[in-house]
Structure formats: C-alpha cells, structure tokens
Amino acid sequence: MTANPAAGAPAGRPGAVVTGMGLLTPVGRKPAEVFEALTAGRSGIRALPEGHAAHGWLEAAGLAQAVEGREVLPPTETRCVDRFVLLALAAADDALADAGLVVGRDVDPRRVAVVLATGGGGLQTFEQQSHRRLDRGRTGVSPYLLPGMLSNMAAARIAIKHGIRGYSSAVVTACAAGAQAVAEGLRLIRAGDADVVVCGGSESSLHPTIAAAFTNARALAHGWEDPERSSRPFDTGRNGFVLGEGSGVLVLERTAHADARGAAGYADLIGWGASTDAHHPTMPRPDGEGAADSMRAALANADLAPADIGYVNAHGTGTKLGDLAESAALLAVFGTHQPAVSSTKGSTGHLLGAAGAVEAAVTALAVARGVLPPTANLESPDPACALDHVRGAARTVRPGAALTNAFAFGGHNISLIFGPASTRAVK
C-alpha cells in the first residue's frame, strides 16, 4: 500500500509518523482487536468481579486485562510497583515491538525520548502503604514505596528497560495528560531533539477512595441495570461518566528516520493545540471557548482549515455539562462544515490520564483504515449536541485529516490532528 502523496508535515517542519502502538484497554489489547471492538460498537464496561478492590464501590467500570509484574519486569523489581506502571510498561513493550524498533540497534539511544503521562500516578500503592503505616507504624511502610508509585516512574521504567537515554518526562494534566504527552512527542521531533519518541499515558484508578470521591461528586453514571449501557456520550439519558483504566503508548518517529529503516506508518501526527479555560477547577467553560481555542490552535499548527477535518474523536465523557460544552466548541469551530463525530468512551469508559493517548491511537487507526467508530449507546442524541454523530454502526469513509480532543479538570485542553501516513510503507 503506497502513501498518500498529499500527506506529510506542514511546510518546513519535520514530519512525525506513528510507527507503533501499544494498547491495554477495556475492549482489548492489540490495536487490531481494540479497533475492531470499537467499530463494532462493543462495550468493555462491566460490573467489577468480587474480590476486586473497588467491587461494591463502583456500579460499572472499564477494567483492562490483568498484567502481572513478572510479564514486564524481573521478579526482584516488582515490589510495590503500581499497576499504572505495569500497564505502561506492557503498552510500551507492545508499541516498540509493533514498530519493529530496538533502541541501540535501530536508533541511537540518545536520540530517543520518552514522555509518559498519568492523571493520578500510583494512588493505589500509596493508599495501601498508608494503611500499612496505620496498622504497623513506620516500619510497616515499604522502602520501595516511592520508586513504585511516583508519577514519573512509568517513564523512568520504560527508559531503564529499553535503554532510552534522551529526553524523559511525565505529564500530569489530569484527563488531558495522555494527549499532551503525544503533543510533546511531536514538539520534540519538530525541534530536532529526538528521532523517536515513546509517548502516551497510563492510569489505574479503580480503587475505593477514587471511586468514593467521584461518586460523592455525582460525576459517575448511575442507576443502569446493564453496565454496558451506562456510558452514553451525547445521549439525552447520560448521567455521568464511567471510570476506566488502561494504557496507550505510541511510537512517534521522524518520517525520514522511519523511511531509512523501512518502517511502515499508521498515520502522521501533523498538528497540536493547547489552551486553558481559566474558569473553574472541575467544570468546563459552558460556552466551550477554551476547547474551541485548543482546536483552532491545532488547525493553525497543522496549516489546515476546518473544512479539512473529516472526523473528530471527541472527549465526550457522558457528563451533562462536558458534552454540552464540547458540542458548543465544535459548532463554533466548524460552523456549517460539521465533521463526523464520535466518542469511543461509550465503549471503554473514561481512562482519565490514559484516555487521550488511547483515543489518539484510535484516531490514527481511523485515518489509516478509513473507518470511523460509532459512539456506543447513543440512542437519542441530545438536541443541544447537534453534531454529525456516528452512531448505530461504523462509517466507511476516508476522513483525510482527523482531530481528537482531551479536556481535564483544571481547564486543560489538548487537541491533536492526524493525517495519512507519509512514509513509503503504510500499515
């Protein structure tokens, strides 16, 4: 399959192509498996099994598959390593394998960067160790607590395991973090600071304290007899989001570097935008202007017009205010040219700091395969969210360029734009 000759980076800017993906989500692990589930509209949201720490605390959740420490780390290094780190390592291993890239063999380790985001980091490990302190005093706290739960430890562990010696960072902008890490990857490649960036997000927050906090804030979907129907972005019956967990990691590569080693690309990352609402710690601006600013910035960064966007993978959490604000933003940015819109959170739930990275991968796959996944459970679209919703079934259409949004508590907004891969070989 040959590349689209119209694809590529904006004039004068190095291209960044997605050559690898690693996904651990409530609907599957491998990119093909995840995308097939999403395009079929299948849900990965379930009642948590008995024995899970959050059983009885959450009505429904998006649970990623189990990852044992020994799968990704030597047994001597798994003490107190939080699940968010294990998920990140597994996704990074899969992404590098998918890219066919070995650091030190295919690329100078000093020319590889890692940017791995999380919303909360190792909160579960911190909570467990806090209980041990209360029960047993100072001696009950593991000396491995800090290297097991700090928010930068997913990035650090990936770098250590794969010998990555370039730029390394952790992004913690709540639910925008995963997308912001991917944006940082594009910035590093465009600046000439890296040839390859391993970037994405990981989250594991399915435990009682976080569940209680979101429940008491009245943020979670509730009252649904069938958990699979509880996540309902843009639907009139939506009444909150469903908490999920998982990890998404992309390998971004300078296009010339990918071509030199004969690597195939899924899609190019051609633009990013960011803004801040400066409005409220948890609620979005009702007029959606912060989100609109982010999308406009991404379009400008990609040298595109609104009419060039054929698909938007929306942030679309299923909250009353959030979906209204994002719809207002989309209408303001795109006007009479409304691209097709869907939210894959209807199938996965909200993966918090990992959401933006997983949805970036889904958006790249939609561009690569010419298929737009529907919003699961969107049965009666809210008239106030008057968008061109993909619902009921997937659409087979080449979107050209596609945009994905990630918004967060604190008013952080990130938008990413993907276009057809400009590498000679295309996945």
For 108-125, write each residue's pLDDT tens digit: 999 999 999 999 999 989
Least confident of 3-17, 132-146, 193-207, 381-395: 3-17
Least confident of 56-65, 76-85, 401-410: 76-85
**pLDDT value of position 80:** 84
φ, ψ for residue 262 (rounded to 5)?
A: 75, 25
Q: Active-site residues: which are they?
A: 175, 315, 350
Angle at the Cα of 80 from the Cα atoms of 78 and 81, rounded to 5 degrees: 60
**pLDDT value of position 6:** 40
pLDDT in tens, 156-174: 999 999 999 999 999 999 9
**pLDDT value of position 8:** 54
**pLDDT value of position 140:** 94
Average pLDDT over residues 203-223: 95
Given a cut of 60, whether residue 69 has pLDDT beyond it is yes
**pLDDT value of position 15:** 79
Could you give the percent of the chain with pLDDT greater than 90? Answer: 92
pLDDT in tens, 19-36: 999 999 999 999 999 999
Q: What domains does the chain contain, in order, with CATH numbers?
A: 16-422 (3.40.47.10)
